[in-house]
Amino acid sequence: MSKSKADKLRNLATKRQIITAADAAKLGVPRTYLSRLARQGQLEKIARGLYTSPAFSPNEHASLVEVSYQVPKGVICLLSALRFHNLTTQSPREVWIAIGHKAWAPKISSLPVRFVRMSGPALQFGASEHHVSGRVIRVFTAAKTVADCFKFRYKIGLDVAIEALKESRRLKKASIDELWAAAKVCRVAKVIRPYLESL
């Protein structure tokens, strides 16, 4: 095994949270190096086609990055998006990710994932991109996340939705206009109106 090629992969894995065969190809390194380095303990395989450095210290968004690799068209939503936007102090046990109504939901064994089915504008509106550990992840905006919390209040609790709304205004993460636009897309305008008016 070429030391320089192995070094390139190790260095990239140290800089980023996760590397893939596509990352190896961009460096001009055959994908077989990934599995070899994993067998030697120089990389750690965390899921099919995903590797990390054994020395990597995961940050609070590590699970979001890992799921985004495995569900590239998904959008981080609900409790996970609340945590991403610092609208809650609770850390969800699962990564919540929105996918299309007819999209295939992959089996992910490396960490717990909760899939939420959405379609059309509800899946596209408010999906913003963020750079985390060398990877672009898609997360719903604070306003869309609050509206989703009201839409899925029976899954996560109305108290969580109300608290998210209050925090989004207190921290100035979403304007009234942004919240109202998201509520209309999510078809919860009538539900959220009294709570918005009470702020």
What contacts 10, CB < 8 A, 6 or more positions away?
37, 42, 43, 53
Domain shared by 102 and 150, yes or no = yes
Q: What is the pLDDT of residue 3?
A: 59
pLDDT given for residue 167 in this prediction? 96
31 lies in the same domain as 80:
no
Residues 85 and 139 in one domain: yes
Residue 183 is part of which domain span?
62-197
The answer as to whether 57 is a domain residue is no
DSSP string over 86-118: T--S---SSEEEEEETT-------SS-EEEEEE
Same domain, 12 and 87: no
Q: What pLDDT, on the 0 to 100 scale, is given for residue 59? A: 65
- In this structure, are 26 and 112 located in the same domain? no
Q: What is the structure's pLDDT at 84?
A: 95
Give the 3-state secondary structure of residue 134.
coil
Q: What is the pTM of this model?
A: 0.83
Cα separation, 32 vs 11, in Å, equals: 17
pLDDT, one tens digit per residue, over 65-86 is 889 988 999 999 999 999 999 9
Shared domain for 33 and 74, answered yes or no, is: no
Rounded to a whole number, what is the largest CA-CA distance in the chain?
66
Counted domains in the chain: 2
**Residue 89 shares a structural domain with residue 140:** yes
Asked whether residue 166 is domain-assigned, the answer is yes
In a domain, 111, yes or no: yes
Burial label for 60, CB within 10 Å (0-12, 13-18, 19+), is exposed
Q: Which of 159, 7, 131, 161 is nearest to 61 (CA)?
A: 131
58 within 8 A of 7, measured Cβ to Cβ: no
* Co-location of 68 and 94 in the same domain: yes
* Shared-domain flag, residues 68 and 114: yes
CB 10 within 8 A of CB 53: yes
- Which pLDDT belongs to residue 33? 85
184: left (phi over 0), alpha (psi -120 to 50) or beta: alpha
**In this structure, are 74 and 155 located in the same domain?**
yes
Whether residue 44 is found in the same domain as residue 87 = no
pLDDT value of residue 105: 87
> Is 159 contained in some domain?
yes
Among 30, 52, 74, the domain boundary falls at 52
**Residue 119 falls inside a structural domain:** yes
Q: Which residue's entry shows tokens 């299309």?
A: 100
Is residue 118 located within the same domain as residue 165? yes
* Predicted pLDDT at 2: 55
Strands 95-100 and 75-76: antiparallel
- The low-confidence residues of the chain, meaning pLDDT below 50, are none
